[in-house]
Amino acid sequence: MILQREKICAIISDNSIISSAICENTTCQIDVVSSDYESFIDSKNKLDLLILDKDIYPHKLPLHRINCLINLTDQKFSDSEIRIAKPLKLYDLLGIIASNMREEYFFCCINHEWIYHERRARFISASREISLTDKENALVARLLSDKNFSAKKDSLKTSLWNYHQDSESTTVDTHLYKLKQKLPAGMVEIRQSECLFKFEKVVF
């Protein structure tokens, strides 16, 4: 399995003054894209932060792979985008960027296809969206937090479902099998004493 950890930030802009001002006043690396933005986006499994300062075709933007979209244009791309009108207040924009960089919930690309968005409790692909319950979302986050992407059933029983240690494990199994049925085939494996994720590649 391939495991990568990186926060990817970019700005699509033809205005070198704005892009330079942003890059020079942030501590994170921001890729500046002025042309061939489609190839750039296609080359990334996910974008943690994308700043749009250029009119582009909305259908060219894979919104499910973008965690935070900051829109400086007059176009509308998403209901969840952050709109900042011009004249631009750089201080406000830098604050949003810094806040996004501090966020610690999971936003990761799994097996090149699926985005897991912990804050939205969703698995999302280009053609499908899977909603998770609060407990299922907590379970996914718990498994992703483990270096082996696994957890003992007894531990889940007490920490996630608040069952007594002596209670039947079949109740926990029921929750696990429901999650397994929801997610893409082969992603969840349930064993006698533990459950685990099976991935080819994860990009955090």
Q: Which domains does the chain have, with CATH numbers?
A: 2-102 (3.40.50.2300), 107-203 (1.10.10.10)
Q: Is the pTM of this model over 0.85?
A: yes
Joined tokens for residue 134: 């609060």
In SS3 terms, 95-129 reads as: HHHHHHHHCCCCEEEECCCEEEECCCCEEECCCCE
Residue of 67, 68, 48 whose CA lies nearest to 7: 48
- pLDDT digit string (tens) for the chain, length 204 residues: 666 677 899 999 999 999 999 999 998 899 999 989 999 999 999 999 999 999 998 888 999 999 999 999 999 999 999 999 988 889 999 999 999 888 889 999 999 999 999 999 999 999 999 999 999 999 999 999 998 999 998 888 888 877 655 555 567 888 899 999 999 999 999 999 999 999 989 999
**Cα-based distances in Å from 144 to 27, 59, 167, 202:** 27, 31, 26, 10
pLDDT for position 5: 72
